[in-house]
Structure 1
Amino acid sequence: MRGAHRRRLLLVMYILLSLAGAWTQKAGGCPRWQCPVHSECVDERSCRCKAGFASSDPEGLITNPIGSCEDINECLQKSLTCGPFATCQNSEGSFHCICNWGYKLASGAKSFANKSENTCEASVDSGVTPAPSGILTVTAAPGNLPKQPAAVHPRTQPGDPGEKISKDVNECTSGQNHCHPSTHCINKLGSYSCVCRQGWKPAFGSPNGPINTVCEDIDECSSRQHQCHNSTICSNTLGSYKCRCRPGWKPIPGSFSGPKNTMCQEPPLPTWTLLPTAQSQSLSRFSIEVRNLLKDFDPATANYTIQKVIEAMDKLLEAPVNIETLNPIDRHQVATQLLKYMEQTLRTLAPFLPKGPFTYTSPSNTELSLMTKEQDNKDITTVYHSQAWVTLNWAVAAGAKSSESGYSLAGILSSPNIQKLLADASMNLNQSRDILEERFESPVLNVSLTLLSNVNSIFLTNTDTRKLASNVTFNFSYSVGSKKRPREELMCAFLDTGDDGNVRWSTDGCSMNGTLCHCNHLSSFAILMAQYHVQDPRLELITKVGLWLSLVCLLLCILTFLLVKPIQSSRTTVHLHLCVCLFLGSVIFLVGIENEGGEVSLRCRLVAMMLHYFFLGAFCWMALEGVELYFLVVRVFQGQGLSTQWRCLFGYGVPFLIVVISAAAKMDGYGQQTYCWLNHKEGFLWSFVGPLAFIIFCNSAIFVVTVWKLTTKFSEINPNMKKLRKARVLIITAIAQLMVLGCTWVFGLFLFDPHSTWLSYIFTLLNCLQGLFLYLMLCLLNKKVREEYRKWACMVAGNKYSEFSSSTTGTGTSQSQTRALRPSESGM
C-alpha cells in the first residue's frame, strides 16, 4: 500500500511538472503575434506548419504575421498509392483511401490509410454479383452509378457453351498501364482505362476513358464554377480551388482563409468619402484612384501602394482648380479630411513594410518618414526627413492598447502643396486673446497669418493623441524675412476643427522655445508668422483724416486769432493757446503715436511724455476758457479776470508739473508695446484721466452757470427779443462752449470697455474733428471775423474796401442791441 501511494504521488508530480513546462514554453517561447491556423510556435520569432500543411518556406517556417499554412494534396504525389480497386481522397492536413464503387473493405471500415491496408473486395449487396466461374456482373441501376466510372470487368457472353474462365491481370497495380500522370487508372477484366481525376477534364481532342487519355486541370476560378464568397478571391489549385481573403482583408471570426466556405471582412482602410458640400471633378477622380489602389492592395508591395497614394495626392494639390472654387469653410475641411485619410492609410499600410526606418520623397517634394519598432522599446526615438524631425518617448507611440503585430509606428508626412487649401485659414484666439490684449494693452481685432513651413502631419500607432503622457518635441524647416514688423510673433500652430465644423489654426497645448516646438498632443502642424492687428482699419482712417482736417482748421484758428485785430482780447488769447496746444499734440500724435519697433524705446517715451504734456495743456487752457467765460458773464459784479502771466503760468506750468511728477514716480509708465502713450498698468493712466475728469467737471459746472447767466442777460438787454432768435443765439453759444470746453472727452471717460465699437467711433469722430468745431464756432460764426475775411477777399480780388464797407452800414442797428456786452465779444 505504501508503494502504491508513492507511485501515485510521483505520477501527480510528473503531470504537474509537465503542465508547468508546457505553460512556460507557451508563455516564453512563442512570438508576440499569434501563429496562423494549422501551425505551432517554434521560438519567439517563428512558427512551423503542422504535418500535412506547408508554407512558402521550404522548411515550413513562418516568420511574420501575414504568413499562412496551406494544405498539401498528398493524392498528387506519385509515391503514394492506395492499391487496386481504391481511390485516394485528399482531406485538410491528411488523406485517406476508399474502395471504388462496388467494392468494400473486408473489415467493413469506410476508408484506410495506406496500400498495406487495402482489402477491397466485391460487394454482393451493392449490385456487383459474382457470375459463374467468378466473373463479375454489374446489375446496378443507371441512376445509382457513381460520378467516377466504376471498375466494370467485361465478361464472355452468358450462355455460350463451354465458356472459359481466365485470370485477370491488374495493370493498374502491376505498373503495366500507360496512363498519363494526369489520369486515374481503372482496372478492367483483361484491360484498363485512364479516367480524368476529379477536378480535371480531358484535354482538347482526348476522350475520357481510353488508355491514351490526357487530362488538364479545370480552372474553376476563370470558368466561374467556384462557390467563393464575394469577399474572397478564388485561387485555382490542381484538381480544386481555394477561397482566399482579399489582400488586407481578414477572415471573419470563426472562418479561416482557404476553405471553400471562407468569408472575409474588409480591412480598416479609410473610405475616402467626399464631403457632401465639397464636390468637384478633381476630388472625385482622386477618390476613385485611391480606392482602386487600396482595393488592389498587396502586402508584398505596400511601399508601392504608399508611393502611389502620395503621388495621387500631389497630383490633386498641384492644380486644385475645382477645389479652389469652393467656399473657404469647405476648402479647409477638404484639407483636414485629406490629411486625416492620409494618416489613416499610412498607419494601416506601414505594418506591411520591413521593420525599421522608411523614407520616401515624391517628385513634388512631399516627404514621408516612417519608423517601426517593437512595442516594448523604451528608448527616445527621432523620426526625421529633410523638412522636419520629431523626438518622442517610444512608449507614447504604442499608447495604452497594444497592436496585434507587436510593433509600433511613428511617422511624419510633409506636404508643400496642402497650404494652397489653407492659405486664408484664421487663427483661434479664444484661448490666448486675454494674454495678447494684456501684452499689447489694446484689443486684438484679428490676426494675419503667413505659413513659413510645410504642413506636417505627425501620426502614431496610438490613435488617441489628444492628450499624450509626455510632450513631443519637433522642429520644422522654415525661413523668416529679415525685417520684423510690429506685433509679429513666430508660433507653432496646429489645425483644429471646432464644434462648428470650421477649421482654424490654434496653439492650445503647444509652446515654442527658440526653433523647437513642444506639444502635448498630435495633429497637423506648421510654423506660422502671426501679425496681430489692434487697430480697426476704418477707425484708423477716420482718425487720420479727421486729424488732418483738424490740423488745417486749428492752423486757420491760430492765424485768425493772431491777425484779426478787432477780436483780439484776453479771451482770444485763451483761444489761441488752446489751439496751439491742440495743434502740437495732434501733430505729435500723427507722427509718433505708433510704436513701430514693438519695444518701448527712449524715443517712444519722449513721444508719450509730449503727448501727455500738450493734451494736459489743452485741458488747462480749456479750464481757463471756463474761468474766462465765468468772469465775462459776471464781471460787472466781480471785476476783471486773470492776467496773461497768470494764465500762461497755469496753462503751461500745471501740465509740466504733472508730467515731471509722473515721470519721476514711474518712468516706465510712458510707452506701450503698441502705442507711444501712457501705460494702463498700475493705474498710471490716472495721471492724465484724473486732471481731465476734474477739469471737465469744473467746466461743466461753469457751462451750466454761464448758460443760466446768458439767459438772464439776454432778457435784460432786450426784453422784447423774439423767442426764436433768443433760443437760436442761446443754442449756438451753448454748442460753441461745449466744444471749446472739451466736453467731447466725456465719451472717453465712459470708454471702459475697449471692445465697445460704437462708443469708440463716437469718441474718435468728436475728438478728431475738434479743430473743425473750434474753427466753425470761434471763427466762422463770429461776425467780425467774417467781415475781416471779406475784407481780405476783396483785397485779394483787387476791389476797394470802401465798396465793401458801404454795403455793411445797415448793420449798426442790430449791433447796438448787444453793446451791453464787451465790444470784443459781440460777434458771438
Structure 2
Amino acid sequence: MRGPSLFPGLCILLSLPGVIVQKAKGSCPPCPQNALCDIDGYCTCKPGYHSQSGERVLTFPLDICEDVDECKPPFSRYCGKNAECQNVEGSFYCRCDPGYKLLSGDTQFMNPSDNTCQKIASSNNTKGNQELQWVVEDLESRLANKTLWELGEKRKIASKVTSVLQMVESTVLKITLKTPDQDIQKVQNSAVAVKVRVVRDNCSEERKIFNLNIQMNSLDIDCNDIIQGDIKGPSAVAFISYSSLGNIINATFFGEMTEKDQVYLNSHVVSAAIGPKRNISLSKAVILSFQHTKKTNLQGQNVTCVFWKSTEEGGHWSRDGCSLEQVNKSHTTCSCTHLSSFAVLVAPTSQEEDATLAVITHVGLSLSLLCLLLAALTFLLCKAIQNTSTSLHLQLCICLFLAHLLFLTAINRTEHKVLCAIIAGALHYLYLAAFTWMLLEGLHLFLTARNLTAVNYSSMSRFMKFMFPVGYGVPAVIVAISAASGPHLYGTPNCCWLQLEQGFIWSFLGPVCAIICVNLVFFLSVLYILKRKLSSLNSEVSTIQNVRMLTFKAMAQLFILGCTWCLGVLQVGAAARVMAYLFTIINSLQGIFIFLVYCLLSQQVRKWFGNVMKPKSESEIFTHSSRFAAYSKSSENK
C-alpha cells in the first residue's frame, strides 16, 4: 500500500489560510440559517449546531451551521443503563430501551441522573431478548475457542468466518422479525454487541435516515433501503459489532497487502444486514463510523475502509465499493455502497522516504518559484524580446507560479472540508491551465520550426487570435463541467485534490495525458525539421552555431513542455522508487528550465541585463549634465 506522491498532479495536499473579515464592531452581515449575531458583530452557530468549516466564527461566505448529532461519535451522550440517546434538530433527548419505561411515566429525559428506566413485564419481549442473548453467548464461546481458529489453514479459517458471519446475521434478523412489536432490541457481552431495529411504516422526512450505534461504532442507513419497497409486513436492520473477531481475520487477510506492508486493523469488525430480503442493491450508500482501537496518530498514514468479501477460497478483506470519508483522532468514517462486514485498515508509510521526497519537493519548488518570478519580470520589462513567444512564456510562468505557491504555502491542511474542496478546484484549474499553455508552447515551437523551411505568416496570425481563449478558457470549461457533475468529489481526507471514486481523477489525467502525447509529437517533428535544416546548410560557422543553439533549446523543451510528467505512470514494480525520485526532481525544477532557456541563454536578455547593471561612465554623466545645463540656459533666455 504505497502512499500518495508528494509532487502536485498525483496528489496535492493543500489548504487555504483562514479568511478574516474586517468589519465594525456591533455590525453583522446576514447570518445563515441556525446562526446568530453575537455582541462583537460576528455570526456564530446556535447551541446544538456547529459550522461546516469547524470554526466558531462564520468568516467564510458559504459556511453553514449543521446539526450536531450528540448521539453519534465523537459526542455519544451517555443516558445511563437501559436507555439510549435520540438526536433531534438542534438538541437531543434520552429515552428508555424497548421493554423499559420511566417510573414517572414520561417518555424522555435529558440527564443520566434522571434515568429511572424499569423493565416492563412482557412475555414476547422477554422471549425475543432471551433468544438474541443465546446467540450472542454462543458466538462468544466460539470466538474464544482458540483451537477452532489457530490450528486451521488460512483458507479454512476464512471459510469458517464467512459461515459464522452469515449465520449470525440470518439468525438475528429471523429472531427480530418473530417479535416485530419491539422497535429496538439490544444485547451485548464482552465479545459481541447486537442492535436491531424494526421498521413497519412508510418512510417520512423525520425518519428518512436510521442510526444504530453500539460500542462507539455507528451505522446510518436510508429508510427506503430497510423497507425494501414491495415487502409486506415489517422489515428489520441489524448492526453487529465484534470486539475480538479482528484478531482472527486480521490484516493478513487483505488481498492487496504485500509481505513488506505493516498493515493492521484499527477498529472492531462490524456487520450490517437487512431483512427479510438479504442481497439487494442500496439506493444510497451507508455511512459507518468506527472508533479506533489503537489511539495512535494517523497523520501521514494510509487509512482504508474494507469489507469482508466471501469467495470460493473462503473470503478476504476488499476495498471495492467502500471509500474513506473522514478521519479524526478517535474515529474513521466510511461510505459503502453495499452491506456486509466492515473494518478499517491502517498502513504506516515509510517516513524516511516521505521525508526525502518532501525535502526534494520543497527545495525544487522553492527554486522554481524564484526562477519563475525572475522569468516573468524579464518578460515584462525587457522590451527587446516582447513578442508572441514571450507572451506564451509569461502565461505559463504565471500559472505555474500560482499553483506551486499554493502548494508550498498550505500543504497537508485538510481540516476544513469546504475550503479543501475549493483549493482542489483551484489547483485543478491552475494545473490544467499550465498544461494548456504548455500545449500552446509546443504548437508555437512547431510553427516556428516549420517556418524555417516554408514561411507561413497566416498560421501565426491565426495562432495569436485563439491563444488566450484556449489557454484560459478550455481549462475553465473542463473544471466547470467536473464541478457540476461531482462537486463532492473535490477534496479527500488526506489531500485537497480530486478523488479516485467514479474515475473523477481522469478529469485531470485525461487532458494531461492527451497534451503530453501531442507535445511529444510536436517535439519529435521539431527535431526532424531541425535535422533536415542542419544537413542542408553550408559550413558557415555562425549559421551552424545558431541552428545548434536552437537544437539545444528544442531538446530543453522536453522538460518545459511537461513531457517528463509521463514518469509518473512508470512508478510501478521494482523501479517505482527510482521513478518517484526522477519524477519529483525533474518536474519540481521545471521553472528553472524555463528561466535557463528563455532568459539566461538569450543574447538579447543578457545584453539588456548588462545595460541595466552597467554603471554610467564619467563621459556619459558629463554629456547628460551638459545637455541639462544647455536646456536650462535656453529656458532662461526664453
- TM-score category (smaller protein): 0.3 to 0.5
TM-score normalised by structure 2 residue count: 0.44
* Structure of larger gyration radius: 1
Normalising by structure 1, report the TM-score: 0.34
More helix by percentage: 2
- Determine which structure has greater relative contact order: mean sequence separation of CA pairs < 8 Å that are 6+ residues apart, divided by chain length: 2
